[in-house]
Copies of this chain bind each other. A is one copy, B any other.
Amino acid sequence: MIRFNSDYTEGCHPVILERLAETNMEQTPGYGVDEHCKHAAELIKAACDAPEADVHFLVGGTQTNVTVISSALKHYQGVITANTGHINVHETGALEACGHKCLVIDTPDGKLTAEMIDRYTKAHFADDSFEHIVQPKMVYISNPTEVGTIYKKAELQAISNACKENNLYLFMDGARLGYGLASRENDLTLADIAELTDVFYIGGTKVGALFGEAVVITNDELKTDFRYNIKQRGGMLAKGRLLGIQFEVLFEEDRYMEISRHAARLAEKLKDELAAVGVSFMVDSPSNQQFPILPDSVLDELRKKYSFEFNGKTDDTHSAVRFCTCWATKEENVDALLADIKGLL
């Protein structure tokens, strides 16, 4: 079985394992205040051109989302999200379990726009019953989104402006951030993101680490007491250095982008070659998740050899599915998949 079903099917970049072995018997203080975490934070701040940012390391994405959002909101405030947002769909209500409602906007492509945000927020405050409705206070966007689309710099700039005008925090979920930044269609930099958001995170779990997400906070209001929130939400790893060491490896020698480019290139190869033989897609994704629509008979054959995610029937005889590439994807496996699909079509 060759797995394309997610971008967390393997372990981690080999240099991480080497570094863990080298540092294994070092004695360090716990909970993320060790020298490795400090150094990794410096590397990330440099990569983001954000010397004043606070950087924290958490273990996983759901945990990071609820920690960041709940730390920013008062009890009666909620977060605007696309209907497809991970927090709205695939976190078993982790955010609601912290007391906060997802304020959902339907989108065709997983992306919010400045106009949607502005309209939603102004409508809230214009409503006579506004105190009977959860107050919007933060905007959650994922980049790449859950359906692989990415934000262009002009779009993010407009969203940032809309947030500032409406007194909203802007939070970017970057669980797959590397695969967005490495896309041939991308025009954003880490520095842009640090400048245009109030808080975002750089995903490690899906981009070469064993686990780990690096939260970058640029808005001073959100910096205060953040570590209390990490601890309360269960995200303060006892051996915090494990996170520091992994992000040291990822942010030395451009490794984070190098491995992201690998996945991006293979996804583009998959996309281009499928398109070339007439395959259409559920969504036009420029990143490491590709959603081709294929005949069910073809999919039945493919399932004997490959693992991938089912995304729904598109007509009586076709379905959309998801193939992910990642830092560990072997080009030979992509080639085999392409050959098999072409042979079956």
Q: How far is the CB of A16 from chain B (nearest CB, A)?
A: 9
Listed stretches A63-71, A111-119, A150-158, A179-187; interface member: A63-71
- Interface size, A (range): 35 or more
Tell whether A233 pairs with B133 under 8 Å between CB atoms, given A11-B20, A17-B21: no
The answer to whether B133 and A89 touch across the interface, beta carbons within 8 angstroms, is: yes
A25 in contact (CB, < 8 A): yes
A28 to B, closest residue via Cβ: B9
A62 in contact (CB, < 8 A): yes
The answer to whether B237 and A60 touch across the interface, beta carbons within 8 angstroms, is: yes
Tell me the bound Cα distance from A205 to B238 in angstroms. 7
A317 in contact (CB, < 8 A): no
A122 in contact (CB, < 8 A): no
A86 to B, closest residue via Cβ: B132
Task: Find residues 226-252 in chain A having any chain B CB closer than 8 Å to their own CB.
Answer: 227-229, 231-239, 241-242
Q: How far is the CB of A300 from chain B (nearest CB, A)?
A: 17
The answer to whether B211 and A239 touch across the interface, beta carbons within 8 angstroms, is: yes
Tell me the bound Cα distance from A192 to B254 in angstroms. 52
Q: This chain: how many copies in the complex?
A: 4
Q: How far is the CB of A7 from chain B (nearest CB, A)?
A: 9
The answer to whether B24 and A12 touch across the interface, beta carbons within 8 angstroms, is: yes
Task: Find residues 1-32 in chain A having any chain B CB closer than 8 Å to their own CB.
Answer: 1-3, 5-6, 8-12, 14, 17, 20-21, 23-31
Residues in B whose Cβ lies below 8 Å from that of A239? 8, 11, 205, 210-211
The answer to whether B94 and A100 touch across the interface, beta carbons within 8 angstroms, is: no
Tell me the bound Cα distance from A83 to B12 in angstroms. 41
Residues in B whose Cβ lies below 8 Å from that of A339? none
Partner of A20, one of B1, B17, B234, B237: B17
Tell whether A75 pairs with B11 under 8 Å between CB atoms, given A92-B132, A242-B211: no
Partner of A59, one of B12, B30, B31, B237: B237
Which residues does A use to contact B, with CB under 8 Å?
A: 1-3, 5-6, 8-12, 14, 17, 20-21, 23-31, 59-63, 66-67, 70-71, 74-76, 78, 89-94, 96-102, 104, 128-129, 131-135, 205-206, 210-211, 225, 227-229, 231-239, 241-242, 307, 309-310, 328
| 9 cross-chain pairs, A with B, having the tightest CB-CB distances, nearest first | A63-B234, A11-B24, A76-B228, A92-B232, A93-B134, A93-B101, A3-B27, A96-B101, A92-B231
